[in-house]
Structures are given as structure tokens and as C-alpha cells.
Amino acid sequence: MPKPSSNHSGCSSCAGDEHQHGHDDHDHGHSHGDGEFNLKAELAPVILVVILFTLGLIFEKQLHGTPYSVGEYLVFIPAYLLSGWNVLTSAGRNILRGRVFDENFLMTIATLGAIAIHQLPEAVAVMLFFRVGELFQEFAVGRSKRSIKSLLEFRPDYANLKTSGEVKKVSPDEIAVGDIIIVKPGEKIPLDGKIVEGEAQLDTSALTGESVPRTAKVGDSVLAGTIDKTGVLTIEVSKLFGESSVSKILDLVQNATSKKSESEKFITQFARYYTPVVVFLSLGVAILPPLFIAGADRYQWVYRALILLVISCPCGLVISIPLGYFGGVGGAAKRGILVKGSTFLDTLTSVKTVVFDKTGTLTKGVFKVAQIVPKNGFTQDELLQLAAEVESHSNHPVAESIREAYGKKIDDSQVEAYEEIAGHGIRALVRNQLVIAGNDRLLHRENISHDDCNIEGTVVHLAVDKGYAGYIVIADELKDDAFQAIQALKKQGVEQTVMLTGDNRAVAERVAQNLGLDSYYAELLPEGKVEAIEKLILQSEKNSKVVFVGDGINDAPVIARADVGMAMGGLGSDAAIETADVVIMTDAPSKVAEAIKTGKKTRQIVWQNIILAMSVKGVFILLGVFGLATLWEAVFADVGVALLAILNASRVLRGS
């Protein structure tokens, strides 16, 4: 995780594009490592300041009566330095770096001015309450970080490597593809792989947010970071640790705050101009009235200028916006939704069209042979054997379902000249016969006569030596929450739901009707999906955004082309997950509406904070200029706005 700045998350009024979490230029000197916030350690100096400050207020008259008020200085100056040292040193460092106009500078000038006019209690109060505000902010940031960090705690510490009959503990980084590892009950699965022996209940909540364990058996793929709850598993490793799902997710979350939203960019630009204006306005308040107003008290106008400086400190504004988005990313992570940057949370608020891939996104992608229809003298057994043989080298779920239905060992030596035809199917020589297996488009491409083009379901047609041999129907089920997902999107204001699929029109129409989708595009090649999404983007209204949700490797170009690309992270391909802006770890389409809801809630809270801060600042600036607010009110106005903004920003993390 990036090192956080304790200065209101990099709360600097002049910090251009570097104005981010973790930038050292604007910190207050606190180091909290990976975002761990030690409340006891931070409270100790604050409590000491409170004691000195309280004693100073109680005995202020007596202390002030000492020679040259030395007693007053001996109590209040240590309290001032203890509470404000980080502000003073940060202001000095930033001035040396050419960054003058930030909140550290405002606080320093205001408090030194208060000391110069012998308002020591007010000077200490400014620094003390500012530090208390910081404590609240650090606690809130720590809470957001912990919610994200809990997602990262599924990083495995070791792997049980099986070699030459013995098992030894090694680092996951030392494991190679093809190695055999043992996972015992209660242990985390350290690397992605396939179960070769054993059966167990797996807790996938760390990756997916789902509390219900799932059963895994021989032949099932398993992901690093899931926890074995019941049985001993023997797993053949399929990916190096650095390429595993867990590593990719770690990287996604760690870099989630690097992409800034439009609101964050706006406030950075606003603060760049706001702070110098405030400084020069304060100078004008201090200098001009005594020059032009008869009988004006210079002391009084300097005091008003100091009040103006304290009130104008933009901390409540500057901290609450990144904190709000950080809370949004953290809150989404708690729900199994990984958002790669606050800019995507912002974009989700304008989504009017959601486009889904079908297989593995709206459907389970678990195919089973439902029907075998032989033609022209072939038997069912012959047709199934031919299909299994020609599909023997394919990793497609349909091919796997055919091989599973065949259930016998396939002699690879009988399959030659294997060729995959993208978007169509497969051609190969099987026992010296030219066999093709694929969709209806493939039959037309090869000019093979057949009697029915519109068979409902996912269909694999077969032909042998240019003669039609029959077809196999493969069944796929809708995901349990697919219908609810479409209804939830409508409630979130999504106007159009669309499905893209390479499957035939009959299947697409049935799925679209069952789910209540607005439209669908069927029989699409991979490039056809990109053309379809571009068409939908062109048709969408100005400022309305298009989301695409997919899971397969062929979805990566479409995910990249959409305004917001979403990938199913549990079963999705690496290419889709890496390309996506949002990763749904549960593979549940209902999470799409939840992501949009989180984006809207985050934006709402951020703008509430902006309006609150600007309104309160405006009122108190006017009161300060006209002498109706003292330095005490200025302090409470500044800290109060900051605290309200922090508490409000924390709501998005809780989902309230």
C-alpha cells in the first residue's frame, strides 16, 4: 500500500497533480507505514497539550501578571510547539520547495500573528484543534485502508510443495507451473491450479465477498487466496505466483487511488487559486482599513486578518474529497467489487446503458450435453466420439462438456492438422477423415448442406468429408441473480440493457426474453462485439456512459472500448481482468447495479462536503471581516467543517 500522508491525505492547497495520498511533500512528519494508525501514540502529545492549555486558561491572569508575562509564555509556547511542530516544519519545507500557499502556511502565519499580538491561548487553540481534526481524519483514512487491506490479507505466506514423496514448506514464489502442492484444512490455497486429488469446501469470501463456501473436487480450477475448510487437496499449479489472480488483485487495489476523479481534479485547481487570494485578501484587511478609515484600530484589523486566515484554511474541503473517494473504493472492495480508481466511480454515476456478454456473465458457463441428433446414417455414439476427438485440443467450455459427456480416453495420435477457426469452430483430420465441428456459420462457409439453421440452444454441428453428420445441443443455465440484476439496474436509472453473444439468434432471443433485456446482438464474431459497443456509444446521449460486462479473453477489446469496462474476476480471463476498470470478484451480475449505486453514493457525499465547506467558509469569512467572529469561532468553524466532512465521507465506507 502507498505510504499515507498524515497531513489530511496530502491536504495541500497548491499541490497540482502531485496532490495524492502518500506524497511526502505535504506530510506533517507522521509515518504510519501501511496506513496503520496508532491512536495511543498519537493521543499522548495531544493529551499533554490539553493539560497545559487547560492550566494556562485557568491561571491565565496570574501567568500574565508575571514579569514580561514569562509565566504565560512558559506554559503556552511548549503547548503551541507540541501541537503545531509538524505544521511549522511542513510550512518551512514547502516554502523551501517553492510551494508557499498551503494550509500549513495559513496556520503558521495566523498563529505566529496571534502570538505577536499576545493572543497566546488562541494560537495554541488553532494548533490544538487542528491536530484533533487531524486525528479524526487519520482514523477515518485508517478505517478505509483497513477495509481494503482486509481484502489483501488473503496473500498466502507459504506453499506445501510435494517432491519425491515428501512435503516441504516453501515460499509461493519458489513454485513452478506443473508442481504439485498439498493444501490442508484451514490453509490458504497459495497459487492458482487444478485439483488432481481430494475434495473440500472452499471459503472464497476474501476474494469474492460471498460467505457461502463452495465445493471443489477433482478437475476443478481453484484460485490462490481461497481457504480450504474441510479436506486435503492435491493441486497441480497452473500459474506462477506473480501471475496468479491474488497477485493481480493485490496490484489492482494498491493502485486504485492513482486515477483521480474529475471532482478531485477540480478541487486541486480550485485550491491552487483560492489560497493566494485568501492570503492577499487578509493582507488587505490588515493594511488598508487603518490607512483609509479614520480612527481605525490597527490591532483590531490585524486580528480580523488573522481570523480570516484561520477560517479560510481549506482543509475540510481538501481532505473530504479524496477521503470520500477512498471510502468509496474501500466500501466497494468490502462488497467484492474492485474499482481501479476514483475516476471510474465518477463515471458510473452517468451510466445509462449496460451491455452484457452472455456466456459466463449472464449464464453460468457450465455446459452439459443435452441432446445428440445424428443425421445421414451416423449413430449417437459415433457422433459424440467424433465431436470429442475433433474437440480434443480445445479449451472452450463447450469442448470440455463434449469430452466430459464422451467420458473415454481420446487417442490424440488419431487427430491431425488441428485448426481453430475464430468465431466459427474447428477443422481437423480424425482417422484420416476431414471433420469440422462448429456453428451454423461454419457449415455455410464450407458449403455443407443441412436442413435446419435455427436450432434453439448452443449447437455444435458436425460434418465428415463435406457430408453433414448431425448436431449436438449444449445447455447452459442462467445465473441465479441474472434476472434480479437487470431489475436492479432499472432501479438505478439505467435506460437500456443489452446482450452481445456469439451464440445463435434463437438462444439469444430466449435469454433476452427470460431476463427482460431491452435488446440483443447475436452470432457476433469478436470484432463484431467491438462494432456493436461502438454503435451503442455513438447512439448514447451526451454525457451518458456505456458499461460493458464480460469475462472471456475475447471480451478484452470490448471491455477496453467501453466507457467503463467490467470483468467477472472469479472465473474471468486474465486479459479481461487486466483490461477492466472494475472487477467483480463474485461473478454475480447483480454487483453491476451495486457498483453503480456505490459510485452515485460517493459522488453525492463528496458534493455534500463541497457545498457544506464552501457555505460555512463563506459565512464565517464575512463575519470575520466585519469583526463579528473571534479567533475562537474561526478555529471551531474550520475544525467543525473538517470533522463534519470526515464523518460524512465515512458513510460511503459503511454503505449508509
Q: Which residues pair with 353 in a beta bridge?
A: 496, 546
Q: Exposed, middle or buried by CB within 10 Å (0-12, 13-18, 19+), for 46? A: middle
Torsion angle (degrees, nearest 10) of CA 219, 209, 188, 242: 80
Distance CA 443, CA 463 (A): 8
CA–centroid distance for 192 within its chain: 22
CA dist 113 to 55, 73, 303, 499, 524, Å? 23, 15, 8, 65, 71
Cβ neighbourhood burial of 455 (10 Å; 0-12, 13-18, 19+): middle
The C-alpha cell at 179 is 508442481
Closest CA to 449 of 352, 376, 359: 376
Q: How far apart are alpha carbons 110 and 119 in whole angstroms?
A: 11
Neighbours of 207 (CB within 10 A): 23
Rounded CA-CA distance 449/17 in Å is 64
Distance, CA of 259 to chain centre: 10
Which residue has cell 448436431? Answer: 471
Tell me which residue of 122, 135, 126 sits closest to 47, measured CA to CA.
135
C-alpha cell at 175: 513454485
As a dihedral over the C-alpha atoms of residue 573, residue 577, residue 579, residue 581, rounded to 10 degrees, the angle is: 150
Residue type, 595: A
Residue among 27, 228, 357, 476 flagged as catalytic: 357
357 is a catalytic site residue: yes
3-class SS at 41?
helix
> How large is the angle between the packed helices 70-96 and 103-116, nearest 10 degrees?
150
- H-type alpha helices, 492-630: 505-515, 526-539, 556-561, 574-579, 590-625
d(CA 457, CA 652): 43
User: Cβ atoms within 10 A of the Cβ of 247, count?
Assistant: 19
Give the residue numbers annotated as catalytic, written as ranges.
357
